[in-house]
Amino acid sequence: MNLVQDKIVIITGGTSGIGLCAAKIFMDNGATVSIFGKTQEEVDAAKAELKETHPDKEVLGFAPDLTNRDEVMAAVGAVAEKYGRLDVMINNAGVTSSNVFSRVSPEEFKYLMDINVTGVFNGAWAAYQCMKGRKEGVIINTASVTGIHGSLSGVGYPTSKSAVVGFTQALGREIIRKNIRVVGVAPGVVNTPMVGNIPDEILDGYLSSFPMKRMLEPEEIANTYLFLASDLASGITATTVSVDGAYRPS
């Protein structure tokens, strides 16, 4: 069963990691996917990879500044105009930092909030403009386990992701009257290239403290997106789903 057959989907941060994995899984399940990335070069490389695995599928790609609402609206609008609608918006793009409170500069904190909060707001706002007339759609926002439970360092990142949790709950309650669902996903530690840079001896000790004794795989997060975007999750909105393997930051 293709859970998102013929759905029109946009994934921000779709050029690598969880976002690129989600693009492949949504395409496997019948969706038409467009991806947003940081640079056009990254977008073009990801598009080429997706075309290798799905040669019969069209993939649009854009590199808007997520902190600029006009640029985001232009890119989202181009997708909706091309296909006649937008069914699913996945605000997956984000940045991280582990600097402790005393070392967080105003510039770093602003950058985290700009990308992780304003970027999500702009993506959701643009998607809403394309969905409200049809009174149908799903907006999925990527939060983090640290946005729910905090962490022992890196105060800026948990703060930004906590804002995503609050935004998701508030927006979901507000726009369900338009039959548009808003759901957050809070991943734990996921096996992405960023984690792959950690030396093995450090990573092994880190993983030994995990209840699952392993990291999550990108597919486990992407499959959660898939379920939440599908009609199987028609009653789920204004909440954030944790996909963390019982991990709690420490």
Indicate if the pLDDT at residue 155 is higher than 80.
Answer: yes
> What does the pLDDT read at residue 98?
85
> What does the pLDDT read at residue 62?
98
Please check whether residue 250 lies inside any domain of the structure: no
Please check whether residue 249 lies inside any domain of the structure: no
Classify 61 as helix, strand or coil: strand
The count of structural domains within the chain is 1
CA atoms within 13 A on the CB side of 173: 7
Please check whether residue 85 lies inside any domain of the structure: yes
Q: How many CB atoms lie within 10 A of CB 234?
A: 10
> What does the pLDDT read at residue 207?
85
Domain that holds residue 230: 8-104+113-243
Please check whether residue 53 lies inside any domain of the structure: yes
Please check whether residue 217 lies inside any domain of the structure: yes
Please check whether residue 1 lies inside any domain of the structure: no
Contact status, residue 143 vs residue 89, Cβ threshold 8 Å:
no
Least-confidence region, from 28-32, 39-43, 189-193, 227-231: 189-193
Selected residue with higher pLDDT from 177 and 154 = 177
Catalytic residues: 157, 161
Indicate if the pLDDT at residue 216 is higher than 80.
Answer: yes
Q: What are phi and psi of 183, to 5 degrees?
A: -135, 140
Please check whether residue 248 lies inside any domain of the structure: no
Q: Is 194 exposed, middle or buried (0-12, 13-18, 19+ CB in 10 A)?
A: exposed
Give 163-214 pLDDT, tens digit per residue: 999 999 999 999 999 999 999 999 999 998 767 666 777 678 778 888 999 9
> What does the pLDDT read at residue 152?
82
Give 18-31 pLDDT, tens digit per residue: 999 999 999 999 99
* Sheet strand arrangement including 180-187: 60-62, 32-36, 8-12, 88-91, 137-142, 180-187, 239-243
> What does the pLDDT read at residue 200?
78
Give, for 64, the enclosing helix (H) or strand (E).
Answer: none
Across the chain, mean pLDDT equals 95
Q: Are strands 60-62 and 32-36 parallel, antiparallel or unpaired?
A: parallel
Give 50-75 pLDDT, tens digit per residue: 999 999 999 999 999 999 999 999 99
CA atoms within 13 A on the CB side of 150: 5
Please check whether residue 43 lies inside any domain of the structure: yes
Q: Which CATH number covers residue 40? A: 3.40.50.720
Q: Is 61 exposed, middle or buried (0-12, 13-18, 19+ CB in 10 A)?
A: buried
Is residue 154 very low, low, confident or very high in pLDDT (cuts 50, 70, 90)?
Answer: confident
Give 108-147 pLDDT, tens digit per residue: 999 999 999 999 999 999 999 999 999 999 999 999 999 9
Q: What span, in angstroms and rounded, lies between the C-alpha atoms of 117 and 159?
A: 10
> What does the pLDDT read at residue 197?
64
> What does the pLDDT read at residue 99?
87
Q: What span, in angstroms and rounded, lies between the C-alpha atoms of 72 and 67?
A: 8
> What does the pLDDT read at residue 67?
98
CA distances from 32 to 24, 25, 96, 129, 235 (A): 10, 11, 29, 19, 24
Q: What is the pTM assigned to this prediction? A: 0.96
